[in-house]
Structure 1
Amino acid sequence: MKSILNKLLLIGILTMVSNSLSAQNWINVKDTENFDKWRDFVVKIKDTYAPDSRDIYLSVYDDEEQAGKYVIETTSTEIQSYVLNEEKGSTFTVKLLPDSDLNGKTKGIINLSVANLRTRPSHSAEMATQTLLGTPVDVLKKLGGYYLIRTPEGYLAYVDRYGVQPKTEEELANWTSRNRAIYVADYGHAYLEANTTSPRVSDLVMGNILTVVSEGEDYWQLEYPDGRLGYVESNRLMKYDDWKAMVKPQADSVLQVAKRMIGVPYLWGGTSIKGVDCSGFTKTSYFMNGLIIPRDASQQYRQGEELNIMTDGDLDVKKAVSNLKKGDLIFFSASKETNPKQPITHVAIYMDNGEFIHAAGIVRINSFDPTAPNYDSQSLTIVGARRYLDNEEFIASHTLNSKKGY
């Protein structure tokens, strides 16, 4: 038992170290000694208005045109108001993103079957998440060959120029108004001609969205955000509007998608059937049923209806089986025994009778009941559960219809 807990503790520590490394290097000034008198001020800004770099961008750097002056670059209007209210305008200039250098192309559409989004604008940087072809995003800033973007769930990360096609508001609206198709098979390809022996245009995965040029009996010709054309087998597609009207955020449907990913390998940052991390797995299972939930496990834990499954800080199996419903999310903390704040490090989808499905090594089904043959000792680190389904307020604000570009 002790060795198991030590191993889980190590996983938690590594996760926290990785998270701290992936945080923005948000103070970028050359004369740090001269800047010291302002450090407390900008740290207070971060702690108050931008504590999580995954959803609020903040960077402080030298004003190249005025010595001893600084620029606060951010996505937060609250930070701008705070600086003005504190009358620090003589020292700090607030630059709100999106950047004016984008010339109005402040929207974008993901252009690859699965685009890798990173914590910094570099191929060697940690992969923060992934986003699927056809996903509408906000484009905030260009740095060399990379764009800082914001995904529909509000996640900030960098994608290379091949991964996103920048658009104006008008161009995004045009894309949204067109006849679109969604790829509903697990995995496949688009071809230059209407046969599978033709050269390939790209791979495709479940959840990819493209516009329809023409519909044949066996193949549809589709267009990518960057204008490429490809033929896709019609039996692997659905008209997007028909699919969106059909899908409902219901437990059995969420679990049906989840089970399609059984055996898929764990991939840090992964959100597609090619590879998933724990929260990417839950996010994808919900997305294919019309619901956009927060990206990371810790963010998913902060929303939804809290469920009573614990007694004196430990999982109460009888209570959990009684109070959980299919499709609920179960959360784990690898540092549960040593850290009172219990940072969330894992998430699973509840099935029934104590069983849950999750991405841990591979996507698999386990039980938190110690008497079950598929019991997983990771259940010792369960710290809570949340319900998104049957929560009308949450669903109303997180459906595809509530997100611009979908």
Structure 2
Amino acid sequence: MTDTVSPLDRRIHAHHPERRTADAALIPQLEGEWTALSPTPAWADDLLSLRASPDETAAQVSEALPGERMELLEVLPGGWSWVRTTHDSYLGYARSSGLSTTPPTLSVPVTVLRGHVYAAPRIQAQVLGRLGYGAVLSVQQPEPEQHGAYRWWRVRYGGTDGYVRTSVTEPQQTPGADLLHKFLGVPYLWGGRSAWGIDCSGLMQLASGYPLPRDADQQQAYLSPVDTPQAGDLVFFPGHVGYMLDERRVLHANATHMAVSIETLGEGEYGRQLADSVSGYGRMTPELWAAQLEQA
């Protein structure tokens, strides 16, 4: 995903010229009369679609994973809210019914690629929702419950109680090439950020292990440019990004295969097209890591 970056990028700077509303922190930079908005904490109740406008038919620009922290900027008519994800400051419109304003008491991360929330602590029970790697479960007790042969977390999901097997939260591999390989074959989805459907920059943000902004052009601007790629670098194309497994092989979510796949730059028709359109390579340097730690 990509867009044109401006001094006040409307993807990350909360100002709406038509409604004349803006984050209070931006008001000093804006001319004319604006209504100041004071962001309040919110959390995604389930896998929450963020759209370009408050309309179900509008393009999906991103997703908030279950349990991800957000900021509620403005409640709009028709059951919509203008929101911002806190991990990357990305803006979008979400259904208000998918938001919770109650902070979790206890939480545990989802470590598997995909999973489900059940209405009762048994695998035959009704499925309440879907989970994916990176989601955060709001658990209702400090320890799992034993039901039959399995241990279950009792969780809050979609405004109701549900149950999740503890296997969904057990330690797995760390982000990087090994985790990215597990996403092979995951369907491509514009704006997607989960193993149920993902786009190129969402995959890099979720599984590369780097604290990246949301879109491909933002990621290219963030990383340090390099001329010769190595394993772990990101490779950029117009409106697209992938992960270099070595000097030539790239793992990426793409609309050509409508899935996450691996190509070799310069090999085969698609590989040659990719090689011809490379716009640069980016690397996560120790200096960038240090700067990120200082901001945390």
TM-score range, shorter chain: 0.7 to 0.9
Bigger radius of gyration, 1 or 2? Answer: 1
Match among 253, 266, 272 for residue 194 of structure 2? 272
Going from structure 1 to structure 2, the CA distance change for 1:347 and 1:165 (only over 3 Å counts) comes to same
Report the Cα offset of residue 329 of structure 1: 0.6
Please, what TM-score do these two structures have when normalized by structure 1? 0.64
User: Which whole-Å CA distance do the structure 1 matches of 2:93 and 2:30 have between them?
Assistant: 27
Match among 134, 147, 156 for residue 67 of structure 2? 134
Q: Does residue 364 of structure 1 match 2:277?
A: no
User: Which whole-Å CA distance do the structure 2 matches of 1:265 and 1:95 have between them?
Assistant: 41
Match among 180, 184, 189 for residue 107 of structure 2? 180
SS of the counterpart of 1:158? strand
1:149 maps to 83
User: Which whole-Å CA distance do the structure 1 matches of 2:45 and 2:158 have between them?
Assistant: 7
- Consecutive unaligned residues in structure 2, runs of 5 or more: none
2:22 maps to 74
Report the Cα offset of residue 179 of structure 1: 3.2
Q: Which aligned pairs between 1:6-405 and structure 2 lie closer than 5 A?
A: 49-50=7-8, 52-61=9-18, 72-75=20-23, 77-81=25-29, 83=31, 92-98=32-38, 106-112=40-46, 114-144=47-77, 145-151=79-85, 152-167=87-102, 172=103, 175=104, 178-212=105-139, 213=141, 214-217=143-146, 218-224=150-156, 227-238=159-170, 253-286=175-208, 289=209, 291-308=210-227, 320=228, 324-333=229-238, 345-360=239-254, 361-370=258-267, 375-388=271-284, 391-398=285-292
User: Which whole-Å CA distance do the structure 1 matches of 2:71 and 2:126 have between them?
Assistant: 33
In 2, are the aligned partners of 1:216 and 1:234 still within 8 Å (CA)? Answer: no
Measured against aligned partners, the alpha-carbon deviations of 1:121-155 in whole angstroms (never above 9, x if no partner) come to 11111111111001001111011211111112011
Question: When you count strand as a share of all residues, which structure comes out higher?
Answer: 2
Going from structure 1 to structure 2, the CA distance change for 1:225 and 1:197 (only over 3 Å counts) comes to closer
Alignment: residue pair count: 286
**Structure 1 vs Structure 2: percent identity of aligned residues?**
24
Please, what TM-score do these two structures have when normalized by structure 2? 0.86
SS of the counterpart of 1:269? coil
Going from structure 1 to structure 2, the CA distance change for 1:227 and 1:118 (only over 3 Å counts) comes to closer
SS of the counterpart of 1:375? helix
Going from structure 1 to structure 2, the CA distance change for 1:279 and 1:78 (only over 3 Å counts) comes to same
In 2, are the aligned partners of 1:191 and 1:200 still within 8 Å (CA)? Answer: yes
Structure 1 outlier segments of 4+, above 4 Å = 396-399
